[in-house]
């Protein structure tokens, strides 16, 4: 991935102040830093954090998060093609606040992605580890070992996709069933 690209999106995020416990909304920028659309997984992180003070107590707050997003195109009950997506494995390193509600299901007409979106070796190993913790599928151990031994990410994509697709019950259906077609 090129380090000089400028591609981000902003999103309102509900946060709870660590001092007084009150909720407020901040609007940080996010960047898609890794992913493979064949797997329907994209890693997202906050880039330029929206920092502010709690309107109730004046506590300094800054949103710093990383998560993985899954997205699926389908038709809604009106027959319109939409993209439904949800976030998994939120890592919240925010200071002065905790992030609420980023693990929801969303629906939009389409999602844009940077042209150079790719799954690098480190992110692939992270994804395999998170998938293993979620599914306990031992086939993921062989994929992780293959990556650790220097095999290319591209070489493990077919097996990784097969494993992911075999676990729709915990990696897709549990989320998308909230909005049946």
**Judging by beta carbons within 10 Å of its beta carbon (0-12, 13-18, 19+), is residue 138 exposed, middle or buried?**
exposed
Q: Is the pLDDT of residue 2 over 60?
A: no
Q: At what angle do helices 139-148 and 153-165 cross, to 10 degrees?
A: 170
Question: Is there a contact between 76 and 105 (Cβ–Cβ < 8 Å)?
Answer: no
Mean pLDDT of 106-119: 72
**pTM of the entire structure?**
0.79
Residue 44 pLDDT exceeds 90: no
Tell me: pLDDT of 39 over 60: yes
Q: Average pLDDT of 36-49? A: 82
137-143: average pLDDT = 96
Domain locations in the chain? 9-70+87-103, 121-173
Q: 174: which residues sit within 8 A by CB, 6+ positions away?
A: none
Angle between helices 139-148 and 121-135 (to 10 degrees): 160
| Choice between 30 and 59, residue whose per-residue pLDDT is larger | 59
Return the pLDDT at 49.
Answer: 57
Beta bridge partners of 55: none
pLDDT of residue 160: 95
Higher pLDDT, 74 or 146: 146
Query: What confidence score (pLDDT) does residue 69 get?
Result: 87
What is the share, in percent, of the chain residues with pLDDT greater than 70? 81
Q: How much is the average pLDDT of 115-139?
A: 92
Report the run of H or E that residue 124 belongs to, with start and end. Answer: helix 121-135
Instruction: Dihedral sign for Cα 61, 66, 68, 72, please.
Output: positive
CB 135 within 8 A of CB 46: no
- How many alpha carbons lie under 13 Å from residue 176 in its C-beta half-sphere? 19
Encode pLDDT of 49-58 as tens digits. 556 788 889 8
With 70 as the cut, is the pLDDT of residue 7 above it? no
Please check the confidence at residue 3 and state whether its pLDDT lies above 60.
Answer: no
99 is written with which tokens?
Answer: 């992030």
């Amino acid at each position: 991935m090129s380090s000089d690209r400028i591609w981000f999106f902003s999103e309102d995020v509900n946060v709870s102040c660590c001092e007084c416990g009150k909720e407020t909304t901040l609007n940080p920028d996010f960047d898609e830093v890794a992913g493979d659309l064949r797997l329907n997984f994209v890693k997202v992180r906050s880039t330029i954090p929206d920092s502010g003070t709690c309107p109730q107590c004046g506590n300094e707050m800054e949103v710093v998060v990383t998560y993985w997003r899954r997205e699926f195109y389908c038709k809604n009950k009106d027959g319109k093609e939409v993209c439904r997506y949800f976030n998994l494995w939120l890592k919240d390193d925010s200071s002065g606040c905790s992030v609420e509600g980023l693990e929801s299901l969303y629906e939009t007409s389409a999602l844009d992605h940077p042209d150079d979106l790719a799954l690098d070796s480190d992110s692939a190993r992270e994804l395999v580890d998170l998938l293993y913790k979620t599914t306990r599928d031992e086939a993921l151990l062989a994929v992780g070992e293959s990556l650790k031994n220097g095999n290319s990410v591209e070489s493990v994509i077919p097996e990784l996709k097969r494993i992911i697709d075999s676990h729709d019950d915990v990696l897709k259906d549990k989320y998308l069933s909230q909005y049946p077609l």
